[in-house]
Structure 1
Amino acid sequence: MAVPVLVAPVVEKSVPVELRAIGNVQAYATVAVKAQVTGELTSVQFKEGQEVKKGDLLFTIDPRPFEAKLKQAEANLAKERAQMQNARRQAQRYGSVARKGYVSAEQYDQVAANAEALEASVRADEAAVESARLELKYCSIRSPLDGIAGAVKMDRGNIVKASDKDNVLVVINQVRPIYVCFSVPEQHLPQLKKHMATRKLEVLATIPGEEDHPSRGELSFLDNTVDMATGTIQLKATFSNADKVLWPGQFVNVLLKLTTQEGALVVPGEAIQTGQDGPYVYVVKPDLTVEYRPVVLGRSTENAVVVEKGISVGEKVVMEGQLRLAPGMQVKIVDEEAGRSEENHP
């Protein structure tokens, strides 16, 4: 009695050569915002979780002490400049009379040295004014990049200290663009280097449950060493993330496209069976008997397997009903779509 089976043809097609991994989303840049001057925090100009632009005002430190310091520095500079100008004029007068012998060289040298000292004092006061202006500018703490602001860690009214590493005001993460980091086994390293040398490699990142909406990016980094503990090498892909689908800290499924294998022989994954001697398929012959055929497998795709050796294009392989088969048995091919069957009639 013929055994009913479902079959599929062996087809020749182009198959993408891909690597799959689990990746972790990382911010393109992360900045921990700190105060650069000491003073009272007088205002917070944003909300937690808000998208901020580079240059946006985030915090304000009481500027009054720094305004007073700047005015004092400017006044000192003005006084030193006046004294310097007077010393220069005096040095010029002494120079002209010293050449005629009316004053001693020692007196002239003393006046000239005083003028040079005042010039140095003016340069120091100019630096003090610039420093005071800079400190006053630091009272307005602005975003250094486009990104998403995290939790506010210091509220209005607190005294903040300059460059206090223990008191970060807020952390900003840049999410457009954004990175996805993942690792692949080291045996793929030669292929990676070969294909990276010729073109940009496309990377797809998919959030679990959102398989129909992958994000597209490009491989941008290959680590310079293999992790000896795991035998893997780290890679990093850059995504524009214009829609902000990817978020720092997420885990995503990663698909790295290396190249395309042309003319590959492909069968459904259901057709492949595993025996004591390795993988095999049942091939349906023209007389509707089956033949046991050992095969050498290549890479797998989503719904199919590449067969490197053992079958030919156009042959039919059994993809359902193998458990009731043995070599040489008679089969009938069930057409699942139309509900028809082909039988061998003597």
Structure 2
Amino acid sequence: MDKPTLDPSDLPTQQSTGPGRQGSAGKKSRRRLLLWGTALVGAAVIAAAFLRPHGQSGSGGRHARQMAADVQPVAVATVHKGDMPVELTELGTVIPITNVTVQSRVDGYLMQVLFTEGQHVRKGDLLALIDTRPYEVLLAQYEGQLASDMAQLQQARVDNARYQRLIRQNSIAAQTAVDQQYKVAQLEGTVKVDQAQVDNEKLQITYCHVIAPVDGRVGIRQVDMGNYITAGQTNGLVILTQMQPISVIFTLPETELGRVADRLRSGVSLPVEAWDSTNTRKIADGAVSVLDSQIDTATGTVKMRSIFPNQDETLFPNQFVNAHLLVNTEHDVLLLPTNAVQTGPNGSFVYVVKPDSTVEVRDIRTGTSHGDSVVVTSGLKEGESVVTDGTDHLHAGAKVTIPAASDATATQGGDTAAPAAGQGRHHRRHDTAGQGDTTGSPSGSPSGNPSGGTSGGQPQP
């Protein structure tokens, strides 16, 4: 019986069972694991997409977030009625009504200075004394001459009376009587000259006593005691300035002359306030006293003088001030904060907040402005709310929100406007200052566009 013959190819070889085959099997295993992992991740993503709530997925969620981001916080103010002063602000200078350089009217030595620098004096007070002795000597001389001439005149009059009796008796020549009459007249003239000289010397002695011509305040003395002074010398003895009352002279543009002159002709007193050079602090109150008689052709202005009592002497001569002239007061007009007014291609406009918390672009016309308020002549109604701050990204139809602090402040500003309509311009200015608080940003900072310019953006379609 034959033994089966084994084929060498059927025998396992060392290559088939070696490390090369084991590496290939490991790679396949890792590949399968990677494919399974990818499939599981994909399934998880699909499951998450289907299981996520519908309201937070896709374009719906993005739209909701975009709508929330489009709501703009703003500050608002309420349009209300009140009084608006028609006021002109012009540059002025404090000018004393009377400013005197006290001069000596005679020559001589200054014997006494009877005032203190900066002292307030009254009219007629003695300020200085000049040596009177030279004038007293001349006075005595002229008085002696006068007495001598008066004695001659008396003798001539007695002789003239005797000659007149003799001429009636034809006991003397007529020419002698006539000559005596002329001699009496000549001596009468001489006596008058002597009397004038006496009076002149008395006057010179009076001038040696320098007195205050007006009430006022003396400045720094220009001459010390003991100096020889002359009549009318430069700078005089001292400058005397009337402080109470005092005037402010300011210029008025010729374009405003008509209505100011009409008010003055009607007999109405036009109040004037003097403010400091920075126009931030009121100094004094006064009234217009006179309008100049001609316009300055070089500047196109006319001068006005206003009088101030100046009891506390807050106004000082040659001080520069801002004169606030109240020409008229407009009563019961619509008032609006100036920072609510924007400027666009069609002119002035505001953003009006509607009941649905969206804004509407409203074209308006404005009138007189003063401080933080402006008169609205058309385009708005009383009680409407307008945006005063936060206009940078607004457009027609934009959704807005009003912070509670801003809303309360705006409401308070609208309530305080009512008494202002009947209490005069000072209360009105106080209310508009309160309105300025309503224009602050929600954080309480002031408006970024106080001038009411275009920084709030143009109206968009």
What TM-score does the superposition give when structure 2 sets the normalisation length? 0.70
Query: Within 1, Cα distance between the matches of 2:87 and 2:333?
Result: 14
Among candidates 241, 245, 250, match of residue 182 of structure 1: 250
Query: Within 2, Cα distance between the matches of 1:213 and 1:279?
Result: 32
Q: Offset at 1:185?
A: 2.0
Match of 1:64 in 2: 133
Match of 2:384 in 1: 315
Does 1:196 pair with 2:264?
A: yes
Q: What is the SS of the residue equivalent to 2:312?
A: coil
Match of 1:219 in 2: 288
- What residue identity is the alignment partner of 2:236? V
Match of 2:414 in 1: none
Match of 1:276 in 2: 345
Q: Which runs of 4+ in 1 moved over 6 A?
A: none
| Residues 89-131 of structure 1: CA deviation (Å, up to 9, x unaligned) | 1100110011111110111111111111111111111111111
Match of 1:251 in 2: 320
Does 1:106 pair with 2:175?
A: yes
Does 1:140 pair with 2:209?
A: yes
The verdict on how the C-alpha distance between 1:151 and 1:253 changes in structure 2, with shifts beyond 3 A counting, is same
Which protein, 1 or 2, shows the higher relative CO under an 8 Å CA cutoff with sep ≥ 6?
1
Structure 1 contact 6–335 (Cα < 8 Å) conserved:
no
Query: Within 2, Cα distance between the matches of 1:31 and 1:168?
Result: 10
Query: Within 2, Cα distance between the matches of 1:102 and 1:339?
Result: 122
- What residue identity is the alignment partner of 1:186? E
Does 1:236 pair with 2:305?
A: yes
Query: Within 2, Cα distance between the matches of 1:163 and 1:97?
Result: 58
Q: What is the SS of the residue equivalent to 1:175?
A: coil
Stretches of structure 1 lacking an aligned partner (at least 5 in a row): 341-346
Query: Within 1, Cα distance between the matches of 2:179 and 2:114?
Result: 56
Q: Offset at 1:224?
A: 2.0
Deviates more, 1:237-246 or 1:39-48: 39-48
Higher strand share: 1
| Residues 282-310 of structure 1: CA deviation (Å, up to 9, x unaligned) | 01122222111122221212221111222
Among candidates 138, 161, 164, match of residue 230 of structure 2: 161
- What residue identity is the alignment partner of 2:352? V
Query: Within 1, Cα distance between the matches of 2:174 and 2:254?
Result: 81
| Residues 14-42 of structure 1: CA deviation (Å, up to 9, x unaligned) | 21111112221111111111111111111
Match of 1:343 in 2: none
Does 1:330 pair with 2:406?
A: no
| Residues 50-92 of structure 1: CA deviation (Å, up to 9, x unaligned) | 2121111112110001111111111211111111111111100
Match of 1:302 in 2: 371
What TM-score does the superposition give when structure 1 sets the normalisation length? 0.93
Structure 1 contact 6–336 (Cα < 8 Å) conserved:
no
Query: Within 1, Cα distance between the matches of 2:147 and 2:207?
Result: 24
Q: What is the SS of the residue equivalent to 1:324?
A: coil
Match of 1:39 in 2: 108
Q: Offset at 1:335?
A: 2.8
The verdict on how the C-alpha distance between 1:339 and 1:112 changes in structure 2, with shifts beyond 3 A counting, is closer
The verdict on how the C-alpha distance between 1:167 and 1:237 changes in structure 2, with shifts beyond 3 A counting, is closer
**Which structure's CA Rg is the greater one?**
2
Structure 2 contact 292–303 (Cα < 8 Å) conserved:
yes
Does 1:265 pair with 2:334?
A: yes
Does 1:172 pair with 2:240?
A: yes
Query: Within 2, Cα distance between the matches of 1:228 and 1:327?
Result: 50
Q: Offset at 1:173?
A: 1.0
- What residue identity is the alignment partner of 2:369? S
- What residue identity is the alignment partner of 2:273? L
- What residue identity is the alignment partner of 1:171? I
- What residue identity is the alignment partner of 2:149? E
How many residues were matched structurally?
340
Q: What is the SS of the residue equivalent to 1:68?
A: helix
Query: Within 1, Cα distance between the matches of 2:406 and 2:235?
Result: 68
Query: Within 2, Cα distance between the matches of 1:21 and 1:167?
Result: 33
- What residue identity is the alignment partner of 2:87? E
Higher helix share: 2
The verdict on how the C-alpha distance between 1:309 and 1:87 changes in structure 2, with shifts beyond 3 A counting, is same
- What residue identity is the alignment partner of 1:8? A
Q: What is the SS of the residue equivalent to 1:124?
A: helix
- What residue identity is the alignment partner of 2:249? C
Q: Offset at 1:161?
A: 1.6
Does 1:50 pair with 2:107?
A: no
Query: Within 1, Cα distance between the matches of 2:146 and 2:98?
Result: 41
- What residue identity is the alignment partner of 1:238? I
Deviates more, 1:272-281 or 1:236-245: 272-281
| Residues 129-179 of structure 1: CA deviation (Å, up to 9, x unaligned) | 111111110000111011111221122222222233x35221111111101
Deviates more, 1:57-66 or 1:271-280: 271-280
Query: Within 2, Cα distance between the matches of 1:214 and 1:153?
Result: 31
Query: Within 2, Cα distance between the matches of 1:288 and 1:182?
Result: 49
Give the alignment's Cα RMSD to 1 decimal: 1.9
